[in-house]
Chains A and B, each alone.
Chain A
Amino acid sequence: MSGGYRFPSDEPLARQVRFTFNERELVGLEGEPIAAALLANGVRTIRHDDSTGEPRGVYCGIGHCFECRAQVDGVNGVRTCLTPLREGTRVASVAQWDVAKK
């Protein structure tokens, strides 16, 4: 495996699209789950736990554990492992319930 986290593939890759994670500009593949695009860019921590502040990332990869949730295009609590990446998708690690601040 070379520098990146993305494996070389024999298949034609999907179109490259630009997206942002916490306002940082990144490049991913159109239609891949946002979580895969983040991982390919070396992003492991998707959010911090609402009460403890501990970092969290992908765990189950099938939408069951909700650990990979983020704010996507302004909508909170979106599971990034199930949500396809599009050109211009804005991803942010917003605390969903803001428990600590209340």
Chain B
Amino acid sequence: MNDACDVAVVGAGPAGLVAAIEAARAGLSVTVVDEFPWPGGRLLGQLYTDPRSHGRWDGRKISRQLAQEAGELGVRILGGATVWAVGRDLSLELSGVPVGTLRPQALLLATGAAERALPVPGWTKPGVVCVGAAQTFTNVHHVAIGRRVLVAGIDPLALSVAMEMHHAGVDVAGVVLPPVSTTSGALASPERAVARLADVADLAPNGLLRAAARLAAGKLSPLAVSALRFDLVRVGGVSIGFRTALVAVEGDGRVESATLRSVAPDGTLVGPERRIEVDAVCISAGLYPLTDLAEIAGCPMVEVEELGGLVPLHGPGLETPLERLFVAGNLTGIEGAKVAIAQGRQAGCSIARSLGRATLVSPEDAARAVSDARTSSPFRFQPRIAAGRAAMAELWQQAIARGDQSA
């Protein structure tokens, strides 16, 4: 079945849903597609208390509310739909749903992010999962990924998920540094981990992360860490090994144990190996923007490390050099859900204006809301995100000066 609409949105996460709502408010017909059967994207697994507003952030509830609001505005949400091609006319080829081809006037890609792989011997054994999978299984499906779990990765997301599993009743055997490898690089160094946590000390959305971050900002400052005699810091019932890294996972057909080694402050492995019994290992290696569809659409891509890697070139209103192709959310740089929501609103308004519709929110206000969300976000996944955004603005200006922008 072929189908036309004013706006197609790929990704029913916070950015996509809010953009759809905004575009529908401007009187446009909108279809949102997502591979997952239920709307919400990564919002679904999020559950925390915002230290600034002291409000509970229940991602599942917010997902339901956004999907309901979208539905009331006539937005069609196609769950379980895989987009396998994007045409130069922005048409989408779908599988998994009765709609074969979707022909929109404007397209928003809000495809989000995926997790970086960080191979370690034994990482393909059943029981080794990405931190995001652990979060979804724990908070959304209420199923334990194991009885005794090791978390490899000392970062805001890994610590949050470790605490969520601990509270759910899983025996969290410890949180340690991810495997040291050519791909993990400085990720696995105690100095880097401590600096990374100190960066979020004021913002951390949960007790474990906040306590760990304060430790990092205080006595575990980057300078102090080299003099650190002890390895394990116990916070809220969970042990964090700032000087320990995962080196291998063992087991016959499934995870039975994990091998750990001490790490010097610069990330060098030192001392003997030691083995702990676990039946699951959760690896956190950071997120990267899921750019496949933007690339297929023919959008120029740029590498901006501070944003999380390769991202589509985009302007201040989330427009791209391709006419009527817009981007929002983690696809434009790795940030939290609050930023994604603000970007969704901005993209929805930009799309409405590109199709000749008036919007209640001015472009300036929409842009300001994104900066405000960034400042107040309880999560900062990329330490130098503001520099990354500035770099993108500069790249966009250069592209315009060269005359790349077709719009």
Contacts and interface: CB of A to CB of B under 8 A. Distances in A.
Contacts, number: 91
A55 B253 CA distance: 6
B275 interface: no
Nearest to A39: B143
B239 to A, nearest CB: 18
If over half of B's interface residues share one DSSP class (helix, strand or loop), that class is named, otherwise mixed; here it is loop
B143 A6 contact: yes
Interface in B202-221: none
Contacts of A44: 126-127, 254
Contacts of A40: 141, 143
Interface centre among B36, B129, B170, B290 (most CB of A within 10 A): B129
B126 A55 contact: yes
Contacts of A46: 126
A64 B144 CA distance: 21
A6 to B, nearest CB: 6
B114 A39 contact: no
A1 interface: yes
A25 to B, nearest CB: 19
B145 A7 contact: no
Nearest to A52: B124
A32 interface: yes
Contacts of B37: 31, 82-84
Nearest to A32: B141
Given A58-B137, A64-B290, 14 more contacts: A1-B170, A1-B171, A5-B143, A5-B144, A5-B147, A6-B144, A7-B142, A49-B124, A55-B254, A56-B124, A61-B129, A62-B36, A62-B114, A62-B133
Interface of B: 35-37, 80, 114-115, 124-130, 132-134, 136-138, 141-145, 147, 168-171, 253-254, 290
Interface of A: 1, 5-7, 9, 31-33, 36, 39-40, 44-46, 49, 54-64, 67, 81-84
Closest 3 CB pairs of A and B: A61-B133, A57-B126, A1-B169
